[in-house]
Amino acid sequence: MVSERRIVLTGFMGVGKSSVARHVAHLLKTKRIDLDQELEHGERRTVAEIIDAEGESAFREIESNYLRRALDRPDLRVLSLGGGTWTVDRNREMIKASGMTSVWLESTFEHCWLNIAFSRKDRPLARDKQRAFELFQQRQKYYALADWHFVIRADSTSFDVAKQIVEQVFS
Ligand code: S3P
């Protein structure tokens, strides 16, 4: 019996939030919403273009607006956040107020960095390894506030992680 829970997936860039969310949604026979994709679709610009043109704090304002809209959607069941979304106080408050369950996908920096380095996604806040590592360290305390933690190992597949989430969070 699958519970009616609704989840947001958080974690550092490159940890695999989007692909785990896709598998979770597939297993639950539901849709997933990806916050970056929604924002890029709505703004008709990439996240990188927004951050490069207007800076991070303007991007965070836009991101919070899209988060609010996503949380208002009656069909929302699985939402993958951007890596910084959960670290902003107002966003965590909105998510808590919406009654969603938060899930942190936790991994090592090196694991995330490998995925970042091999990905085609342009991540303005992770163009430099040292800067990305500092962000990673600063953010751990926020991610640790999530309701659930799942540790992603180098040999975990996103499908296996999704199965664990469905079995444990939705049971
Ligand atoms: C960011 C993560 C990115 C994207 C933006 C900022 C961050 O999403 O939202 O580049 O601050 O960690 P991913 O975590 O999907 O890469």
pLDDT over 70 (residue 132): yes
Kindly give the distance from the C-alpha atom of residue 2 to the centroid of ligand 1, in angstroms, as a whole number. 30
- Condensed to tens digits (0 to 9), the pLDDT of residues 86-103 reads 999 999 999 999 999 999
- 88 with 35: CB under 8 angstroms? no
Q: With a 6 A CB cut-off, is 5 part of the ligand 1 pocket?
A: no
Q: With a 6 A CB cut-off, is 71 part of the ligand 1 pocket?
A: no
Mean pLDDT over the full length of the chain: 96
- 79 with 98: CB under 8 angstroms? no
pLDDT computed for residue 1 by the predictor: 56
Kindly give the distance from the C-alpha atom of residue 17 to the centroid of ligand 1, in angstroms, as a whole number. 10
Report the Cα 99 to chain-centroid distance in Å. Answer: 17
Burial 88-109 (b: 16+ CB within 10 A, else e): beebbebbeebebbbbbbbbeb
pTM of the model: 0.96
Domains plus CATH for the chain? 7-169 (3.40.50.300)
Q: With a 6 A CB cut-off, is 13 part of the ligand 1 pocket?
A: yes
Query: What's the chain's Rg over C-alpha atoms?
Result: 15
pLDDT computed for residue 154 by the predictor: 85
- Condensed to tens digits (0 to 9), the pLDDT of residues 6-38 reads 999 999 999 999 999 999 999 999 999 999 999
Angle at 75 between CA 56 and CA 106, to 5 degrees: 50
pLDDT over 70 (residue 39): yes
Residue 12 region by backbone torsions, left for phi larger than 0, else alpha for psi between -120 and 50, else beta: beta
| Residue that the structure tokens 């956040």 belong to | 81
pLDDT over 90 (residue 4): no
What are the distances in angstroms from CA 171 to CA 4, 22, 47, 81, 165? 9, 19, 35, 23, 9
pLDDT over 80 (residue 2): no
Q: With a 6 A CB cut-off, is 84 part of the ligand 1 pocket?
A: yes
pLDDT over 60 (residue 139): yes
Q: Which of 35, 106, 125 to mutate to test the pocket of ligand 1 (most atoms within 8 A of CB)?
A: 125
Kindly give the distance from the C-alpha atom of residue 83 to the centroid of ligand 1, in angstroms, as a whole number. 4
pLDDT over 70 (residue 169): yes
